[in-house]
Amino acid sequence: MKRFFMALLGLLTIYVIYIDLTDGTLPNAYTQKSEVVIATTASTKTSIPAFEKEVQPGETVISIVESQLNKPLPISIEELILDFKKLNPGQAPEKIQIGVTYQFPDYSK
C-alpha cells in the first residue's frame, strides 16, 4: 500500500512539473492568448480638482500626485485613495495600468 501511494505521489509530481514547464502557473504576457484590456475614465461631476496623466512604468498614484505637487502629500493616503476612486469609478488605485490615462486629484490649491 505504501508503494502504491509513493508511486501515485511520484506521478502527481511529474505531472505538476510537466504542466508548470509547458503552460506555466503564472500569467505571462508572451504565452497568454491575446486579451484586450480597455480602461475608460468616466467624466464625473465632482468637486475635487483633478489633472489627467498617462501612467509610465514604475509610477504609482502616490508618486504621480507627489510629482505634480513637488512636495509630500498634504493629506492621508486613505483620502488620496478615496479621491482617486471618486475621479475614476471602477478603477482600483493599486491596479493602474501603464500607458492608460487616469484622473488624479490635484492638491496644489
Residue 70: which domain range?
Answer: 50-105
Q: The cell 485613495 sits on which residue?
A: 81
Quick one: pLDDT at residue 27?
63
Quick one: pLDDT at residue 21?
82
The answer to whether 104 touches 68, Cβ cutoff 8 Å, is: yes
User: Residue 51: exposed, middle, or buried by beta-carbon count in 10 A (0-12, 13-18, 19+)?
Assistant: middle
Q: Give the CATH number for residue 70.
A: 3.10.350.10
Q: Total structural domains in the chain?
A: 1
What is d(CA 103, CA 51) in angstroms, rounded to the nearest whole number? 6
Q: Is the sign of the CA dihedral 68, 74, 75, 76 positive or negative?
A: positive
Quick one: pLDDT at residue 98?
93
Beta bridge partners of 102: 53
Asked whether residue 11 is assigned to any structural domain, the reply reads no
Asked whether residue 15 is assigned to any structural domain, the reply reads no
Asked whether residue 17 is assigned to any structural domain, the reply reads no
Quick one: pLDDT at residue 71?
87
User: In this predicted model, what pLDDT tens digit does every residue of 8-63 receive, in sequence order?
Assistant: 999 999 998 888 888 776 665 555 554 555 555 555 455 889 999 999 999 999 99
Asked whether residue 8 is assigned to any structural domain, the reply reads no
Asked whether residue 82 is assigned to any structural domain, the reply reads yes
Asked whether residue 88 is assigned to any structural domain, the reply reads yes
Asked whether residue 58 is assigned to any structural domain, the reply reads yes
The answer to whether 54 touches 100, Cβ cutoff 8 Å, is: yes
Whether the pTM exceeds 0.75: the reply is no
Asked whether residue 21 is assigned to any structural domain, the reply reads no
